Chain A
Amino acid sequence: MAKMNLLQAINNALDIAMAKHDNVYSFGEDTGAFGGVFRATSGLTEKYGRHRNFNTPLVEQGILGFANGLASQGSYAVAEIQFGDYIFPAFDQIVNESAKFRYRSGNEFNVGGLTIRTPYGGGIAGGHYHSQSPEAYFAHTPGLKIVMPRNPYMAKGLLLSAIFDKNPVLFMEPKRLYRASVGEVPEEEYTLELGKADLVKEGKDITVLAWGAQVEMAEKAAEMAAKDGIDCEVIDLVSLLPWDVDTVAESVRKTGRLIITQEAPITGGFASEVAATIQDQCFLYLESPIARVCGLDTPYPLSHEKEYFVDHLKVYEAIKASMTY
């Protein structure tokens, strides 16, 4: 075991993947010798050469188009989009190409070797264009897998699974936690199953569900609630597509209450999808309405970031409201 922050865990996973197979390639804007603006790809050019870890020209649609082609050829393409906010020029390549490559060709061709890494999320004074959580746009796209880790241990195991998974995976990294989240991580290779939620804290009174950086807010809120005698069960959804309905439903059947919290705006967010499915599966067990604690339906503002941010206090208030419904 070694102490790593989330960036180091990601770097370590890339290192292991590239050592394992010669046809794993890592690329994106500034990701070459410089190591990326967050340094997630540091040292990989030195170790594997500039033909395996390299800079791309500044063109996201090109990065994803190139990555789709490379993956369709049988290689493992790990493409970095510098910020999730800048993924949209590549939307066509991801939604119409990556996601449909296998289906449209009757499995004659596929881009299973594709992994898209991108930092997402707010709380870093990033304003409109360095703060967004665009997972819901992609969760509406059959054919993609979406993974959002919450800590270094999860990030490494999940990224290794994502890279070698037989499907294109969008791997969204919580940039607020890149350096802030530090933990023990095995130095050797290991994988964590995609599509499987993770029970963070067992409890009996209410289920609090989150993913990525928002799990931290759920945990903090659960600690506050514990002082009021409320025993929260905290679940990290981990994968949004496909998502682990059974784990969440089982928890809600036990607690009878569910809070879903996400950073993104509330309308059309993934929390809404979870709420719809869980009310369908657990209707007779529910003791209060499923509540969503989410961002406002506005762009992500800079000077009102603290107010916009879905902090632990907002989650805590929702827990109390649900308990006294």
Chain B
Amino acid sequence: MAKDKQHQLDIVTKPQFIDGSALKIPMLQLLAEDGTIRKGAELPEMDKELALKIFDTMQFIRILDERMIAAQRQGRISFYLSSLGEEAASIGSAAALTDGDMIMGQYREQGALAFRGFTVEQFMNQLFSNERDLGKGRQMPVHYGCADLNFMTIASPLATQIPQATGYAYGQKMDKTGNCTICYFGEGAASEGDFHAALNMAAVYKVPAIFFCRNNGYAISTPSQGEQYAGDGIAPRGVAYGMKTIRVDGNDVFAVYQATQLARKLAVEENEPVLIEGMSYRMAGHSTSDDPTGYRTRDEEDAWRAKDPVVRFQKWLQAQGWINEDEAQKNYDEKKAAVLAALKSAETVPVPHIDEIIEDVYDTPPPHLKQQLEALKAHIRKYPEAYPKTASRIDGGDK
């Protein structure tokens, strides 16, 4: 075939359109829906300790999500986002990283954060916006962040973290840290311009980044297929940007773990950014602000319930003899008690002192902010009953 030397292209002499569906990317699945190993599949190495840590984290997140949705319904917190059904995607991938790798999440990756070691008390302090929250009570619930655990603080705007992951990974590469950055986002966020900028730049600069798309079927009410995109999901976009790409069953913790492990190797050892698309389903609403019955059927939910990632993994663990029903139940009960205790404790902790309102706008508050704070405090002293959360200790020494 003739070649165009400048662009390294094959030359054809008849018009030839490539069909939009020409690239069909398969899905890696190791563990079948019934918890058995798929024929021909070879599970990645995972010792009992790690397997049980993953399962423990899954159980914990399930309890946390369930309890906090209830707490929101009771008016104890203002808002919550559940990760029900997507535990394998975030926990299985986080398990394949080292603690020095950076995690940049969207807002449904509490599993990855818990796996890193964020404690139940830390979760609760953020959810109740109290003075022990690392984010100083400033953001809505579930906007976690922890520098010690290399988990970048969540921001509500969608997809903004994706190009930031490219930049962060570039710094890791230049500093020769031997670490990578994993960036999570949904298939909805992948419509944003930031996604496209991020992948293109990552491929051009060859940065150690793993872009993990949790394709959970919905962006609030908007279904992915046909309304969010017309093509074969998100994965082909990685190929288009010249990036190694893989699609996995996001409800199969082994497929997620293996793909992320290999991606990490590519990222860190060869500076090859990778796109992973994990196919899953958002079993809960987008948040406590919406009711999924308004936009999808119970049959559809039931079909996905049968693919539950936690049940699937538990079946495998039981078949291994690494855990039995009673032990799983006992763990569940212990975790539930711990969650309830932490919840009760966190909700009695006061909000941050009013002086904190002007901190961290800049590294140190400039004079105009100090003046604004003084004026605000004078006002609160005048009307203490109108600002009960801060008035009682406005002049106290317990800041």
Q: Which A residues lie within 8 Å of B138 (CB)?
A: 127-128, 299, 301-304
A55: which of B227, B373, B379 is its contact (CB, 8 Å)? B227
Q: Are B191 and A62 in contact (CB under 8 A)?
A: yes
Q: Is the interface of A mostly helix, strand, loop or mixed?
A: loop
Known: A128-B138, A296-B358, A298-B358. A306 touches B379 (CB 8 A): no
Q: Which B residues lie within 8 Å of A302 (CB)?
A: 78, 129, 137-140
Known: A85-B156, A127-B138. A55 touches B352 (CB 8 A): no
Q: Are B357 and A308 in contact (CB under 8 A)?
A: yes
B322 close to A (CB within 8 Å): no
**CB-contacts of A122-172 with B (<8 A):** 125-130
Q: Are B137 and A59 in contact (CB under 8 A)?
A: no
Q: Are A55 and B222 in contact (CB under 8 A)?
A: yes
Q: Which B residues lie within 8 Å of A311 (CB)?
A: 386
Q: Which B residues lie within 8 Å of A296 (CB)?
A: 357-358, 369, 372-373, 376
Q: Which stretch from A29-37, A190-198, A248-256 is at the chain B interface?
A: A29-37
Q: Are A304 and B229 in contact (CB under 8 A)?
A: no
Q: Are B157 and A34 in contact (CB under 8 A)?
A: no
**Min CB–CB distance B348 → chain A (angstroms):** 14
Q: Are B369 and A303 in contact (CB under 8 A)?
A: no
B294: which of A34, A306, A317 is its contact (CB, 8 Å)? A34
A307: which of B78, B136, B354 is its contact (CB, 8 Å)? B354
Q: Are B290 and A306 in contact (CB under 8 A)?
A: no
Q: Are B290 and A37 in contact (CB under 8 A)?
A: yes
Q: Are A303 and B130 in contact (CB under 8 A)?
A: yes
| 4 nearest CB pairs, A to B | A303-B137, A129-B156, A34-B221, A127-B140
Seen from chain A, the residues whose Cβ lies within 8 Å of a Cβ on chain B are: 29-30, 32-34, 37, 55, 57-62, 85-86, 88-89, 125-130, 266-267, 296-299, 301-304, 306-308, 311, 313-314, 317
30 sample A-B contacts, Cβ–Cβ < 8 Å, listed by A number: A29-B219, A33-B295, A34-B220, A34-B222, A57-B222, A57-B227, A57-B229, A58-B188, A58-B222, A61-B192, A85-B157, A86-B157, A125-B78, A127-B139, A128-B156, A130-B156, A296-B357, A296-B373, A301-B357, A303-B136, A303-B137, A303-B138, A303-B389, A304-B138, A304-B356, A306-B386, A306-B387, A307-B387, A313-B379, A313-B383
Inter-chain pairs besides A30-B220, A30-B221, A314-B379, 18 sampled, C-beta below 8 Å: A32-B222, A32-B227, A57-B227, A57-B229, A58-B189, A58-B191, A86-B158, A125-B140, A128-B156, A129-B140, A296-B373, A296-B376, A298-B369, A299-B361, A304-B351, A304-B356, A307-B387, A313-B386
